[in-house]
Amino acid sequence: MTRFTVAALHIGRARPFGPSGELSAIDKLPVAGPVMAGASGLAGDEQGDPHRHGGPDKALHAYARAQYPLWARDLPQIAERFHPGAFGENLVVDGATEADVCLGDRWQVGGALLEVSQSRQPCWKLNHRFGLPDMARRVQDSGRTGWYFRVIGPGPIGAGDEAWLRARPFGDWPLTRVGDVLYRDTLDRGALAALAAIPGLPASWQRLAANRLARGEVEDWSARLEPPPAGREGGG
């Protein structure tokens, strides 16, 4: 698979979110574009928690359009919530899923050159977003997480733009394999070492792999998947 289409483009402003009112920009709205994509993301897009979201390694969040109907099938009681923008994504991708995209891929998307930096690690704000106490874990377990792009070459992106694969240096690392290492076969030492050795892997993921290798145990996911106690921010 060497091409996909940007079916929709979304940006959002940081606003109070959830029962404790933590800032979040997960509620992103469609824009016709073109919108300038730079190192920190799309012009006009915000992040409620810049420490955990956004930044060069998480400049743009992409999600596959093919997966909304799968969620609606799995959770028919809230089927109407699964629509473009539901997961706080910037790019709604038509024609590719996590199985078709590899770490380090470089894609020409409209006027911008993007690089796949990492899969999304879902956080507890998805629980509030969808009204389910375990939605973040469901996203993690399903593998339908979406992924992040770095912006290597700034430029405009708009809904309807075609994306073309320009380079695939790590074709043996589709994001489905990344998900297996992170969440299923979690202590495969060979796979962890190979993941950590990928050039350009975000520092947080290098630390994750190194810590698993050193300790022989998996990190605690509860702070990311479960809301923090009232009055204290945390998680993703």
Q: How far apart are CA 112 and CA 126, in angstroms?
A: 29
The pLDDT, as a whole number, for residue 236 is 44
Q: How far apart are CA 117 and CA 71, in angstroms?
A: 25
* Domain ranges within the chain, ordered by starting residue: 3-172
Contact assessment for residue 188 and residue 86, using Cβ atoms and an 8 Å cutoff: no
**Helix residue spans in 41-118 (DSSP H):** 68-74
- Which residues make Cβ contacts (< 8 Å) with residue 181, sequence separation at least 6? 188, 191, 192, 195
The pLDDT, as a whole number, for residue 147 is 98
The pLDDT, as a whole number, for residue 32 is 85
Q: What SS3 class is residue 80?
A: helix
Instruction: Give the global pTM.
Output: 0.94
Q: Which two tokens stand for residue 150?
A: 């770095």
**C-alpha distances out from residue 93 to 4, 14, 41, 192, Å:** 7, 23, 16, 28
The pLDDT, as a whole number, for residue 230 is 60
Q: How far apart are CA 147 and CA 118, in angstroms?
A: 6
pLDDT digits (tens, 9 = 90+) for 122-132: 999 999 999 99
Q: Pick out the chain residues at pLDDT < 50.
A: 231-236
Domain 3-172: CATH class, spelled out = mainly beta
The pLDDT, as a whole number, for residue 176 is 98
